[in-house]
Amino acid sequence: MDERSGGHHRLIIVLLMVLLFGVLMIQYACPSKSECYMLHQLGSWLAVGRKAGPGYLGTDPQDGALARFVPRFNFTKADLNRVVDFNIKGDDVIVFLNIQLERPCECHAGQKKCTCLRPGKKETWLFSRFSTGWSCGLHADWTELTSCVPTRMDSQEVAKNLPRPLVPLLSEWRHVQRGATWKASLHVCEGRSPTLSELPNCYPGDDWSGCSLQEFIDCQYNLANNRQTRMLADLSLVGCYNVSTMSEDERWAVLLESAKRNLRGMAFFGLTEYQRKTQYLFERTFNLEFIAPFTQLNGTRAASVDVPPQTQHTILQLNKWDVQLYEYARDLFLQRFQVARQQERRQARERRQQERRRLRGRVDWWDLEENLTMDDYLDNVEQW
C-alpha cells in the first residue's frame, strides 16, 4: 500500500511540474493578453462559430420551414445577392412602410411621426408614413411612389413587407367596417386620378361602416381584392384604371408580371410570417441594426375573424393573383435567405482559416527565434 501510495504521489508531482512548465512557457511566449493570440484567438474562433454556425438562427422555430423548403423558381445571382451600399450620411433614402430602426430616429409618445435625420444634417433618410407622413398620398402604391419620391429624394432604395393574401383583405374589411375610408387616396397614374366611371364607389353614403364580409368581397370595384399585386405593379402598363383596354385576365397577367419584376428589383422585401428572417435580411442588406429582435405576433384583428371555409375559398379565388404573387415572393425570399446564410458561413470559415494561418506563422516564427537563440548559446559555449 505504501509503495502504491508513493507512486501516486510521484505521478502527481510530475503532473504539477509539467503544468508549471507549461504556464511558464505561455508566460514567456505571451507576456500580456494584448500580445498573446493563441488562447485569445481560440475564444474568438468559438464565438464566431457560435454566431455564424447553424445554431445562429437555429433556435428560431421558423427555420423548420427552411429545412422543408424546395425552390420552385429560378433566379439570377443578382436577384438573390442583395447587399446595398447604403450611405446614411450621403443622399441615399430608404422608402419603407411601418418600420422603426435604431438610428437615428427620434420617436416621442403622442407624435404620429418620428424624426429620422442624417447625422449632422437636417435631411431625412427614411421615407415612410411614420417619418414623412403620407407625402405621396394615403397608402400610395408603386406607381404613385415611383413618380412622387424621385421629386423629393435624390437616391432611394425601396423596401416592402408582404403578408399572406387572406390577411390584408380581412384586416381592411374590419377597418372599413369601423367607418374608415380611402377618400384621401389619390390613385394617381400617368399624372391624373381615375374618374368616377373608371373607379366607382362600392357604397352610396359617406362610409361603408357595418358592411358584412360578403358585401365587402362582392363589390367588383373594391380595390382590396388583389391589392398587393396592384400596389406593386406599374399600372401604366395596363392603361391605369381604364379597364376597357384589355380583358380582365390579360390585365391581371400583365400586372402580376410587373409586380414580380418590381419585387425582384427591390433592395429588400420581407414576409410578415418570417419576422426573424426578415430582420436578418434587412440588417444584412443595409448594414443597419434594430435595437431588439423581431417578435412573431399573429394576434391581429384579421386573425381573430372566424371565416367559414367556403368563404375563405371564395376570397382566395377572388385574390388568385395575390396568391400567385405571394408564392413567388416566398420562394424568392427564402432563396435570398439561404444565399445570405451560405455567404455568412463561408465568410466565417475564411476568417477562421486566416486566423489559423496567422497563428501558425506566429508559432513558426517563435520556433525559429528559439532555434536562433540556442545556436547563439552553443556558439558562445564553444568559444568559452
Closest by Cα among 339, 197, 367 to 277? 339
- Please give the residue that has the higher pLDDT: either 112 or 73: 73
Q: What value does the mean pLDDT take over residues 271-279?
A: 88
Q: Is residue 218 part of a domain?
A: yes
Q: Is residue 366 part of a domain?
A: no
Q: Is residue 364 part of a domain?
A: no
CB under 8 Å to 282, separation ≥6 — which residues? 159, 268, 270, 288, 290
pLDDT of residue 288: 80
Q: Is residue 61 part of a domain?
A: no
Q: Is residue 284 part of a domain?
A: yes
Q: What value does the mean pLDDT take over residues 249-258?
A: 98
Distance CA 335, CA 282 (A): 14
Q: How confident is the model at residue 272 (pLDDT cuts 50, 70, 90)?
A: confident
Distance CA 256, CA 325 (A): 7
pLDDT of residue 39: 40
- Please give the residue that has the higher pLDDT: either 101 or 22: 22
Q: What value does the mean pLDDT take over residues 169-191?
A: 88
Closest by Cα among 83, 82, 91, 233 to 156? 91
Does the reported pTM lie above 0.75?
A: no
Domain that holds residue 236: 84-348
- For residue 56, is pLDDT > 50? no
Q: How confident is the model at residue 173 (pLDDT cuts 50, 70, 90)?
A: very high
The string of pLDDT tens digits covering residues 289-335 is 877 777 766 555 555 678 899 999 999 999 999 999 999 999 999 99
Question: Which residue in 8, 9, 108, 139 is the catalytic one?
Answer: 139
State the cell numbers at 253: 397577367
- For residue 134, is pLDDT > 90? no
Q: Is residue 316 part of a domain?
A: yes
Residue type, 197: S
The string of pLDDT tens digits covering residues 141-152 is 767 766 676 554
**Catalytic site includes residue 9:** no
Mean pLDDT for all residues in the chain:
74
Indicate the range of 125-134, 271-280, 361-370 predicted with least confidence: 125-134
Q: How many domains does the chain have?
A: 1
The string of pLDDT tens digits covering residues 181-204 is 888 888 999 999 999 999 999 999
- The CATH number of the domain where 332 resides is what? 3.40.50
pLDDT of residue 180: 86
SS3 105: strand
CB under 8 Å to 38, separation ≥6 — which residues? 26, 29, 30, 359, 362, 363
Q: What value does the mean pLDDT take over residues 108-130?
A: 62
Q: How confident is the model at residue 125 (pLDDT cuts 50, 70, 90)?
A: low
pLDDT of residue 360: 82
SS3 14: helix
The string of pLDDT tens digits covering residues 80-89 is 988 777 666 6
